Amino acid sequence: MDLKRMGNQTVVFANPPVILSSYSVVGPKEGQGPLGKTFSKIWKDQLHGEKSWEVAESKMLLEALKGAIDQVTVPLEQIDFMLAGDLLNQMISSNFAARQMALPLIGIYGACSTMALGMALGSMLLDGGFARHVLVGVSSHHDTAERQFRSPSEQGTQRAMSAQWTVTGAGSVLLGRSGTGPRITSATIGRVIDYAEKNVNNMGSAMAPAVADTVINHFHDLQRKSADYDLIASGDLGAVGLALATEVLKRSGVDMGTKFTDCGIKIFDASQDVHAGGSGCGCSAVVFAGDIMQRLKTGELKRVLLVGSGALHSPTSALQGESIPGIGHGVVIES
């Protein structure tokens, strides 16, 4: 059997799946940011009429999933799998949203890299002939994440300057074997990299080495360099992590030029008091489903490398003094 692998970690799709549609839902803070006009829907508040932040997050994901479907004429019965994930324990946002979708669910967890991971796995299902259409969606919510991973936001705990602001947002894409739209041409699955960072308020530093490792392997596997891309966007390293990843790559002989940016930096501006930038599953999901997809459709961007970055810790592991492993998954999208 002919493998579709290139090099160490990359899969090249013989029949590149098409991104038929995308949809993004964000909270008010994200809507006030520099990318506000690129989002499909902006909530007026964090609860959106629900009794808890957790219920609100699941509702937000459901809206994003349905929104992507509503953009096209694909019947629900022709969507063979739904891939979804979030940050909460046992992925309750995804599971509770899925119970209203009546689609076969594959729950996935890659922390903040989940959107890129979902797009990669969905593309493998389509290119392998296991599905006609695959729906991918992820979410995060600032207040649910703070309650689970740090301190409930109503406590008003002072945040470290290296900390990032978890994005309240949900993004979704509908992938198909054929149709019109940007195509996912390859995917580089990352390795878990751990440089013993233990500060949960500095996740950018924990994730940066993993993103650098994925970029290095991606370039090696496909014999490419940064100049071969119009945009290389990490999932959410924030300002601290992006600077560190850039330095690691430079020391490894990889010049990223001016093409390297970060979704966590793009979604907020300095006036919004988010310190190092945005984070969370929803961060790269809404930036991709909104701003990047729009620029791909207009032809402004021809080839994009999205490297979702994830900090693979939990509240339990942090309390037990464990370090924070990182991972980075890359997907190439071409218009």
Task: Spell out the domains of the chain, with CATH numbers in brackets.
Answer: 17-176 (3.40.47.40), 183-334 (3.40.47.40)
CA 83, 88, 93, 98 torsion-angle sign: positive
308 has which bridge partners? 329
Separation between Cα atoms, residue 56 and residue 50, nearest integer Å = 6
Q: Residue 45's pLDDT is what? A: 94
pTM of the model: 0.95
Percent of the chain with pLDDT over 70: 95
Calculate the average pLDDT of the chain: 94
**Contact (CB, 8 A) for 23 and 172:** yes
Residue indicated by tokens 């790269």: 284
Q: Does 163 score more than 80 pLDDT? A: no
Separation between Cα atoms, residue 54 and residue 159, nearest integer Å = 22
End-to-end CA distance of the chain: 30
284-to-57, 295, 309, 320 alpha-carbon distances in Å:
16, 15, 9, 29
Q: Residue 151's pLDDT is what? A: 62
Q: For the segment 69-115, what is each residue's pLDDT rounded down to a tens digit?
A: 999 999 999 999 999 999 999 999 999 999 999 999 999 999 999 99
CA 269, 270, 271, 276 torsion-angle sign: positive
Q: How crowded is residue 109: how many other Cβ atoms within 10 Å of its Cβ?
A: 17
Q: Residue 150's pLDDT is what? A: 67
